[in-house]
Every structure is written in structure tokens, then in C-alpha cells.
Structure 1
Amino acid sequence: MTQAPTPTADTVRRLVLSLLKDAKDAKDGKDAGDDPGGRGGRKARQGESGPDVRPATDDAEPVTWWVGSRHVLRLAPDREATLRQRRELRLRDLVRQHVPTAVPVSVAHGEWAPGLGYTLDTKVPGGSGEEHDVSAVGEADLAGLLTGLREVPVRQAETLGLPRAAPRSLEALRRSAVRAAERLVRADEFDAARLNQLTPPAASQLAAQPGSAVLTHHALTGGHLVVSADGRVRGVLGWAGAVVGDPAEDIAGLALAVGSPAAVRAATLAGYGARPCLRGLWLARCDTVVRLAEDLTGKNAMLLRTRLRRAWEPILLERVTDLGDADDAL
């Protein structure tokens, strides 16, 4: 198998310049063959500096690039990612009809190398959810997002190629978290007694209910939420991992991104009952314990500590709910 080329600033700049030229030719009613300069004219354009391009991440081989101040270029690094990207473009068109928050729009897409796709997306104005707090009105935005995802016809989503994801076993995750908590206790990072709230019978009570699968974003991290300075959620990014599955996974993602109280309030506003809310809460809590224990000294440890703190924020619902009588709504 031929190794994929490494994307560089020159690679990105040449691609963007070719897109700008194609757009200008289309606007002028010309094709490339009508260029008075012929191939020489095209080469002259390639010599232009073009818009500013810079990596959006610190990765050694970045695949996401800022293009000027209004666009983002995403390069698929392999053929599997290319297939996901093509599916994502179709999914975003479907989701946009149902959710109140902005979803990126692709202004151009194609291949940046043989068999490897790209999309040039409009940048959604705002900052990262990791850097801005979500306001009460922003929680209503999140409720609208969860409501909209539930309203997307599952069969229509599956025709786009979205896979179904089986619900995770909360009891298996609880056991993993108990083992991971021992490592965190030795590092003075966590009080393992906090996990005693989730007993094996309680985990069983919070199993996913049959027939509850909906379209789920499945990666609602703070980095995928675009939040404005006033705390409104203006957009949602990162749809490549979306699946038809357990709605509690998105509630769990929001708990890591905005804190458990805000996540549960948003889910409740969206019409979810106590059971899926508490299931999402405990998925998030157990996940954060496991992930921090796996990467205590890694470069992401600070972010993982922040997510653990958010997930373990207390909520009123868990104090007043008897799991045996928990509401099965949605």
C-alpha cells in the first residue's frame, strides 16, 4: 500500500489556490482551458501567496488547517477516514434540517491526494466549549440539539451508511472504574468511595432501554461545541463519529463538556426522563475515572482532570430518584 503524503503548508496552499481559481473561473463563466495564459497562467497563480494557512492542531502531521479567518480545511489521512468524511457531509445536510445550532457547511470537497478526501468548511463563529462557559440560554440550545437529534428519522440516517452502536454495559464500565480508582487513590487523585453510589443493582437498573436508539453525535466534547462570549451554543462540529445508538452517550458527552448539572438540565428540557439522564451521568463519571487512570502523566492529564471534575459535580436528580421507580421516558 502506498503511504499517504504528509500534508504541509505548501500542500494546503496549492490546494486552496486551485479552489480559488476554479471558483473564479466558474464565476466568470470560463473553464481552465479558456485561461488566456494557458498552463503558464495557472503556474503564475500557483506562485501567488494566497490566503494565510496554518495548522489547527499541534500534531506532527496536521490534517485540519485554518484557511484565512473564515474557513477550515480538513484532510482525510487514509481511505477509511475518507469514507467517514463523505458520509459526514451527507449527514450534516440531514442534521441541519432538525437542529437549531449551526452545522458546518462544505463550500468545496474532493481529493487532495489519490483516494484521500478533503472538505473546505465554513468556520462557525465563536470559541471552544472548553474555554467558554455555557449560559442558561446555552443550555436551552443544547436541549434543542438533543431534541433535534432525536427527531432525525433513524431509517433515513441509516441509509447514509451510519452504523448502529450497541449500548455499553454500565456494570462492566463500573467494574473497570473501580479498578482504575485504585490507581487514582494511590496517586491521591480521587476518593474511590464516591463510586459506591453506583451499586451493581443500580447499574442494572440503568441499563439502556430497548427501542431507545436515536441518532447520536457520539463525541459531544467541549472542543466540538462552538460557544459565544455570551454563553450561547452557536454550533456543533465533529460529526464523523455519529452513530445510531444510545442517547445517554450524548448526555454523558455533555456532562464532560459543560458539567453534569447543565447536561442533565439540557436533557430534561429535551424531554428525557430520569433513567437516561442518570445513565448518561454515570457513563461520564466512570469514563473519566478510567481515562485519567490510563493517562495520569500524559499530555492530556490536565484536560482529563477537568472532565472528571465536571462529571462528578453533584446533581439534585440523583438525590431524589429511586432507581427502582425511575422514569422510563425516552
Structure 2
Amino acid sequence: MTQEPRPTADTVRALVRSLLGEGGPGPAGGPEVRPVAGAAGHTAWWVGDRHVLRLAPDREAAPRRHREPKLRDLVRPHVPVAVPTSLARGEWAPGLPCTLDTRLPGGSAREHTVSAVGETDLAGLLTGLREVPARQAEALGVPRVAPRSLEALRRAAERAVPRLVAAGEFDPARSARLTAAATAQLAAQPGTAVLVHHALTGDHLAVGADGRVRGVLGWADAVLGDPAEDIAALALAVGSPAAVRAATLAGYGARPCLRGLWLARCDAVLRCAAALSGRTPAPPPAHLADQLRHAWEPILLERVTDLREHADARETDARDADARDADARDAGEAPKP
């Protein structure tokens, strides 16, 4: 197996200078560069204080990195938040593309809490993604992805819950609310595929100190698919109430909102259990705890939806009773209680 090269500060500095020429950002000896915290394999580097260099880590990721600048150009007119602009493109190793992008202002959603006005920014993002023409996205090579089975995810999470309970990380009564009947009601509806960012993590949301969402990063993994996936990602990143409020403002109804909520909850359980079992690298404990806490925050929509379902059931029973009484009267019988 061919070992992929690993970028160093010297190679990144030389690469930036070759992309922009000797007059590029930074001092005459070369721009100041440092790896972005959390970027696996040093595949993202700050260049000065105004740019970021993103590197495809391997050949599997190369097509996505090639596609990303064009996809951002397609998305930009439709969304109310900033999307990075590419200043230069090239290859940092044979067959491995890179882009030098503008750095968006603000910190991450881990650093700043999204405000009520910031939720309207997220609503605008979700609305804009729905408006991106699917044919144009497909022409760029954005793949279509089938919706995940919430029932399969529920069963997997159900098996993982005892591991979290044993570690003192989870109340088993929570997961009992998601039944097989509920997952059937929350199945993805046909014909609802939209452009999905598919990686709306806290690190990919540029949030200002005022709580406004200033921009969105990380478009390489975008797909055409289930909009509930982005609602789920937002639930993990900024909390379930904020994610559902944003989705509701974007025009999504109870079904996709609740589907996104339960996708997030099952994902959080499975990721935490996998980390505890050692099968996958464990994220930082604080990050795990935040995801689990965010996903399982209660939302009003759950209670309202339950009430509506009960009210609908009562109305159906009343209509059935009225119909039986009418049939009885037509037959000359006494109405039944």
C-alpha cells in the first residue's frame, strides 16, 4: 500500500508561496503557517490570519476536494451566510489537490453559543440548501445518497444503551420513547431529497461572539439526500431545541424535524458507546458529553406532537361513533354507547 505524504510547515509554506507567488501573504521569508486544531493528519493549515489551506489527505478524498470550490460557488447565492472563497488551487502532492481559501470570521459553535438571531441564520441555511438546483449539483458530481433506516439505527442504539448505562453515561428510560412504531412514522418520505451539507459540526459553523452564524465550512462531503441529516447534525452541534426551531423556521414540518432529532440521538448513543468500547478513537470527553447532552435535550415539538396524535385519535373515535350511530338509526336500531 502506498504511504500518502504528510504535510509539514516547510512544505506548506513553500506550497503557499508557489500558489500565490513571492508576493503572497506573510513576511518575505514565507507566510506564517500552523495546523488547524482537530484537522486529522494536518490536512488544514492557517496561513497568516486571513487564509486557510485545505489539503486532500488521500486519493479517495481527491474528487471531493476538486468539487468543493465549484459546489461552494453554486451554493453561495442561495444561502444568507458566508461560504469560503478559493483564492488559488493546485496539487500539494501528485494527484492530491489543495485549495487556498479565505478565512471566515468568528469562532466555532463550540466556542460561541448560537443566539436566537443565529437560529434564523441556520434557518436561512437550510432553506437555501433546499433551493439549490439538484441537477446542477449532480452535474458537479454530488452523489445521491439513500436515507438511512431509522429502525436499523434504533435497534443498534438499543443494543448499545447497556454499555452507556454501565458507564453511568445514560438513563435507559430515554431510549424507550423511540419505539418500532415511532420509527415507522418517521421514515423518510419519497421525493424529499435536497442538497445536504452532511457535515454541519460545531467546527464547521463560524459563529460570532454575538451568536450570529457568520459562515459555514466543510462542503466536501455534501450529498443529495435526506434533509433530516442536516437537522440531526445541528442537533448535535448546537442543541436539539435550536436545531428544531431553525428547521421549523425553514419550513420543515414535524416529521422531518422529529426524524432528525432521533437520528441525532441514536448517533450520539452509538458514538459514545463505540468510544467506550475502544472500537473507534474516542473524541475528547467534553465533545462526547456535549453531543450526548445536546441530542437528548427535550423539545416542545415532541410534547405537542404527542398531544396532536392523541387528539387525532379521539377525533377519529368520535367520527367512527357518529358513523355507527347513523347506521343504527338508518336500520331502526337504538344507538350504541
Alignment check: 8 A CA contact 2:19 2:89 kept: no
Alignment check: 8 A CA contact 1:295 1:301 kept: no
Q: Closer, same or farther in 2 for the Cα pair 1:175/1:261, shift >3 Å?
A: same
Q: Closer, same or farther in 2 for the Cα pair 1:192/1:11, shift >3 Å?
A: same
Alignment check: 8 A CA contact 1:255 1:261 kept: yes
Give a deviation string over 1:257-288, Cα, whole Å, max 9, x none: 11000000000000000000000000001110
Q: What's the CA shift for 1:3? A: 3.2
Q: Closer, same or farther in 2 for the Cα pair 1:180/1:317, shift >3 Å?
A: same
Residue of structure 1 equivalent to 2:296: 312
What does residue range 83-232 of structure 1 map to in structure 2 within 5 Å?
Answer: 83-232=63-212
TM-score by length of 1: 0.88
Residue of structure 1 equivalent to 2:320: none
Q: Look up the SS of the partner of 1:79 in the other structure.
A: coil
Q: Look up the SS of the partner of 1:97 in the other structure.
A: helix
Distance 1:140 1:325 in 2: 31
Q: What's the CA shift for 1:156? A: 1.1
> Unpaired runs of 5+ in structure 1?
25-46
Distance 1:83 1:60 in 2: 18
> Unpaired runs of 5+ in structure 2?
312-337
Give a deviation string over 1:116-153, Cα, whole Å, max 9, x none: 11100000010011111000100000000000000001
State the aligned residue count. 305
Q: Which has the larger radius of gyration?
A: 2
Which of 18, 21, 34 matches 1:54? 34
Alignment check: 8 A CA contact 1:205 1:324 kept: no
Q: What's the CA shift for 1:219? A: 0.8
Distance 1:231 1:266 in 2: 14
Residue of structure 1 equivalent to 2:234: 254
Amino acid corresponding to residue 318 of structure 1 in structure 2: E
Q: What's the CA shift for 1:59? A: 6.1
Alignment check: 8 A CA contact 1:170 1:283 kept: yes
Alignment check: 8 A CA contact 1:178 1:192 kept: no
Distance 2:243 2:184 in 1: 22
Amino acid corresponding to residue 305 of structure 1 in structure 2: A
What does residue range 286-305 of structure 1 map to in structure 2 within 5 Å?
Answer: 286-296=266-276, 298-305=282-289
Q: What's the CA shift for 1:5? A: 2.1
Q: What's the CA shift for 1:21? A: 1.8
For the aligned residue pairs, the C-alpha RMSD in angstroms reads: 2.0
TM-score by length of 2: 0.86
Distance 1:22 1:216 in 2: 39
Alignment check: 8 A CA contact 1:63 1:74 kept: yes
